[in-house]
Amino acid sequence: MAYSRPVVVTVAGGLTWLAGAIDIVTGILLLAQSGVSVVVLEFGGAVQLFVSAALALLFGAILFFAGGGVLSGKDTARIVATGAHGISILSSLVPALLLPTAFFGSWLGILASLVVIVLLWTKPANVYFRDDD
């Protein structure tokens, strides 16, 4: 890198790491709850609970590694992070619109993902990722 990392990239990378860590913890907690019949019933069965946990773990790992790549100035990581946050926005829309109990958390997640996407494509970020040697 020709110069130090812009603050917008640091914030975007940190938020991406945080989102990945939250997804990983969520996946672990879901797996830990697989023996609780009430939780299994809420998910519609053990298979749905396991798939939800596996997807949370996978998505969390992708976000976590993309966050590290963003902080390292890797343009591929910026693209992956943008796509992952875009998917996160789309997957949060249904709960945000249809589930009153998930309303606040879903909109907060949507807002955070929008902020990250905007930060990743600001002028200072574009210059930083363009200088990737």
pTM of the model: 0.85
Any idea where the domains of the chain sit in the sequence?
7-125
Six-digit token pair at 57?
């773990």
Do the beta carbons of residue 30 and residue 47 sit within 8 Å?
no
Q: Quick one: pLDDT at residue 3?
A: 61
**121 pLDDT more than 90:** yes
Do the beta carbons of residue 61 and residue 27 sit within 8 Å?
no
**133 pLDDT more than 70:** no
Q: Quick one: pLDDT at residue 1?
A: 44
Report residue 131's pLDDT band, with 50, 70 and 90 as the boundaries: confident
Residue-wise pLDDT tens digits, 75-120: 999 999 999 999 999 988 887 788 777 778 788 889 999 999 999 9
